[in-house]
């Protein structure tokens, strides 16, 4: 049994970083992730970790320094949000393509313009094709647990990919939450020692990183990278099970809440899932068969498992806290549609874009969606395939209803 | 050489053998090539120092010829050769190939 503490999500992450004790941490501050590195830099200054902390001049440089340090042979971590992640963009692909298990804590925040510092998933969703494993957290506890597991997942020999651990800006990053910490030794035993594949600091065995790779070999390297992401599917399961043994906590690909007999279901990620659970408790007390499916792993997308989980459901609302402008719905919706394509038991599906730039999703909004789903289940008719909710003015619905 | 499949390659495009560019002709897109007049050359070694592709070849410590498999024809050597010597001329690759 671990120690029960009250921490903000950011400090929970900094605590996990202290326990992980990475070789190098290169970062540049940005709201709402600033506090992660601010707190961690105190641990460095106090000598609680052996980490070399690099205060870079930008996020592009921060990720570049992470890549360099990983090539040298180090276990490397950083944190960022929003524009910071956007500014790392080209380096994200390079970390993944060079197969460095860099760990990035992404405190989700909207992307400008207009400028906004509050939570939504536009930043990490935009990076979904960058080759990083992506894990999402509902609260400080999950964020802490995910960060520790990320080290093991990324470093697995047949994976060797960077991992992005996401949680909501402010709602999770700045609110004080209770969580249970593992003791330092348990964490260190769990993550074990890092063995770099071809460290540049091994001067007896010189290697070249970042060489030109043209028509004759580029595709083979990309194919191998795709295989690594595929391999991570099993690793994620194994590590989650092993972590559960030491902590007693955690789901694998996703969490199911009252899914056993649920007829109508909401799919939602991160902090808003907590609000949905409150609504479900109230509706279940009235005998309504409502459920929640909360994805934890977004990359690799667990399409088979998710499709199986929805196979007995009649109607589903996929909740996107980011839009893919010009597409027929948000990024999560598109993934679910493709996961369910060709399946025998497809539920009817609608998509809601919510919470952009930190807009609240209230209990009543959620209950309205469950009512709409029940209507869809009863009539077999969808009014709007994808639409913005909790927005003032006329509703613009997308897609073939 | 038989090209390797994706399972046989080291991960991340890393090259395990140091200096293997020797076996890969990188100079085949050159449009100008340096040509040296050894009678004029004073062996000051400026071209050898400045060449970004280590393509100025020495024999017994003296400038001897260029490694045309790797010389990219940038002309840095010709520019760096001292004003009062100018032992290196840059000539069109097409002309050089025609043996003019
Ligand atoms: S032309 Fe450029 S690459 Fe070729 S020998 Fe001269 S300096 Fe080197
Ligand atoms: S720079 Fe000119 S003079 Fe000096 S070594 Fe080269 S060719 Fe000879």
A251/A395: higher pLDDT: A251
How many angstroms does the Cα of residue B33 sit away from the middle of ligand 1?
8
Token pair, residue A229, equals: 């992401």
In sequence order, the β-bridge partners of residue A265 are A291, A316
Question: What average pLDDT does range A104-112 have in this prediction?
Answer: 98
Nearest to A270 by CA among A322, A327, A348: A322
Minimum-distance CB partner of B9 among A198, A206, A224: A224
Convert the pLDDT of each residue in A185-224 to its tens digit: 999 999 999 999 999 999 999 999 999 999 999 999 999 9
- C-beta of residue B21 within 8 angstroms of C-beta of residue B69: no
Q: Chain B: give the shortest CA distance to residue A210, in Å.
A: 7
Question: What average pLDDT does range A33-56 have in this prediction?
Answer: 98
CA distances from A358 to A112, A120, A221, A232, B21 (A): 13, 6, 39, 32, 52
In sequence order, the β-bridge partners of residue A99 are none
Which of A78-87, A132-141, B13-22 has the weakest average pLDDT?
Answer: B13-22
pLDDT for the residue numbered B100 = 52
pLDDT for the residue numbered A108 = 98
CATH tag, A3-247 = 3.40.50.970
pLDDT for the residue numbered A399 = 60
Nearest to B34 by CA among B98, B82, B86: B86
Cα–Cα dist B59/B62, whole Å: 5
pLDDT for the residue numbered A398 = 62
Token pair, residue A9, equals: 């999500």
CB atoms closer than 10 angstroms to residue A148 = 23
Distance from the first to the final alpha carbon of chain A: 51
Cα–Cα dist B92/A399, whole Å: 60
Question: What average pLDDT does range A285-296 have in this prediction?
Answer: 98
The full set of domain ranges for chain A reads 3-247, 254-398
* Helices assigned H by DSSP within A73-165: 82-87, 89-97, 122-126, 140-155
SS3 content of chain A, % helix, strand, coil (to 5): 40, 20, 40
The full set of domain ranges for chain B reads 26-97
- C-beta of residue A180 within 8 angstroms of C-beta of residue A145: no
Q: Which residues of B12-42 are buried (b: 16+ CB within 10 A; e: fewer)?
A: bbbbeeeeebeeeeebeebebbbebeeeebe
Residue A394 has pLDDT above 90, yes or no: no
Which residues of A lie closer than 8 Å to B, measured between beta carbons? 97-100, 160, 197-198, 205-211, 213, 216-217, 219-221, 223-224, 227-228
Tell me the percentage of chain A whose pLDDT exceeds 90: 97
pLDDT for the residue numbered A397 = 62
Selected from 3.40.50.880, 1.10.1740.10, 1.10.10.10, 3.40.50.920, the CATH number assigned to the domain covering A254-398 reads 3.40.50.920
Please confirm whether the linkage preceding A32 is cis (ω < 30° from 0). yes
Q: Is B46 in the pocket of ligand 1 (CB under 6 A)?
A: no
Tokens 């830099």 sit at which residue? A41
Residue A301 has pLDDT above 50, yes or no: yes
Q: Chain B: give the shortest CA distance to residue A156, in Å.
A: 13
Query: If pLDDT is split at 50, 70 and 90, which confidence band does A401 have?
Result: very low
pLDDT for the residue numbered B35 = 97
Q: Is B51 in the pocket of ligand 1 (CB under 6 A)?
A: yes
The pairing of beta strand A348-353 with beta strand A386-388: parallel
pLDDT for the residue numbered A355 = 97
pLDDT for the residue numbered B21 = 83
Nearest to A84 by CA among A44, A52, A56: A56
Arch. (CATH architecture) of B26-97 = 2-Layer Sandwich (3.30)
Please report which helix (H) or strand (E) contains residue A399, including its range. Answer: none
Residue B61 has pLDDT above 60, yes or no: yes
pLDDT for the residue numbered A1 = 61
pLDDT for the residue numbered A395 = 66
């Amino acid at each position: 049994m671990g120690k029960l503490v009250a921490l903000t999500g950011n400090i929970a992450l900094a605590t996990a970083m202290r326990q992980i004790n990475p070789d190098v941490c290169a970062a540049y501050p940005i709201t709402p992730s600033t506090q992660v590195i601010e707190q961690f830099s105190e641990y460095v200054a106090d000598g609680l970790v052996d980490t070399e902390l690099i205060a870079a001049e930008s996020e592009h440089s921060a990720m570049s320094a992470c890549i360099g340090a990983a090539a040298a042979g180090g276990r490397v971590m950083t944190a960022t949000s929003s524009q910071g992640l956007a500014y790392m963009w080209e380096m994200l692909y390079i970390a993944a393509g060079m197969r460095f298990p860099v760990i990035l804590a992404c405190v989700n925040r909207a992307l400008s313009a207009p400028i906004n510092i509050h939570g939504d998933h536009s930043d990490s969703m935009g990076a979904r094709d960058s080759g990083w494993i992506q894990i999402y957290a509902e609260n400080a506890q999950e964020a802490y647990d995910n960060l520790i597991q990320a080290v093991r997942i990324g470093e697995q020999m047949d994976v060797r990919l960077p991992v992005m651990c996401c949680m909501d800006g402010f709602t999770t990053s700045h609110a004080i939450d209770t969580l249970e910490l593992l003791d330092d030794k348990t964490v260190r035993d769990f993550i074990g020692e890092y063995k770099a594949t071809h460290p540049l600091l091994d001067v007896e065995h010189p290697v070249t990183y970042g060489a030109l790779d043209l028509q004759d070999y580029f595709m083979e390297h990309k194919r191998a990278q795709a295989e690594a992401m595929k391999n991570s599917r099993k690793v994620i399961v194994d590590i989650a099970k092993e972590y559960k043994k030491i902590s007693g906590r955690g789901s694998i690909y996703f969490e199911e809440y009252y899914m056993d007999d649920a007829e109508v279901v909401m799919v939602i990620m991160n902090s808003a899932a907590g609000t949905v659970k409150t609504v479900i408790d109230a509706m279940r007390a009235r005998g309504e068969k409502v459920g929640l499916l909360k994805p934890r792993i977004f990359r690799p997308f667990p399409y088979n498992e998710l499709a199986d989980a929805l196979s007995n459901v009649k109607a589903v609302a996929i909740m996107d806290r980011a839009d893919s402008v010009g597409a027929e719905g948000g990024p999560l919706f598109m993934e679910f549609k493709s996961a369910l394509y060709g399946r025998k038991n497809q539920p009817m599906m609608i998509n809601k874009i919510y919470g952009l730039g930190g807009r609240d999703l209230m209990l009543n909004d959620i209950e309205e969606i469950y009512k709409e789903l029940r209507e869809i289940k009863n009539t077999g008719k969808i009014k709007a395939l994808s639409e913005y909710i909790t927005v003032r003015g006329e509703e613009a619905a997308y897609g073939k209803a | 050489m038989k090209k390797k499949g994706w399972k046989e390659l080291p991960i991340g495009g890393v090259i395990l053998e140091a200096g293997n560019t020797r076996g890969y002709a990188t100079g085949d897109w050159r449009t100008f090539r340096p040509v040296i007049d050894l009678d004029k050359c004073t062996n000051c070694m400026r071209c050898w120092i400045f060449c970004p592709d280590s393509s100025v070849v020495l024999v017994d410590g003296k400038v001897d010829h260029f490694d045309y498999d790797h010389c990219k024809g940038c002309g840095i050597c010709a520019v760096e050769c001292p004003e009062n010597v100018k032992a290196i001329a840059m000539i069109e690759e097409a002309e050089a190939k025609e043996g003019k």
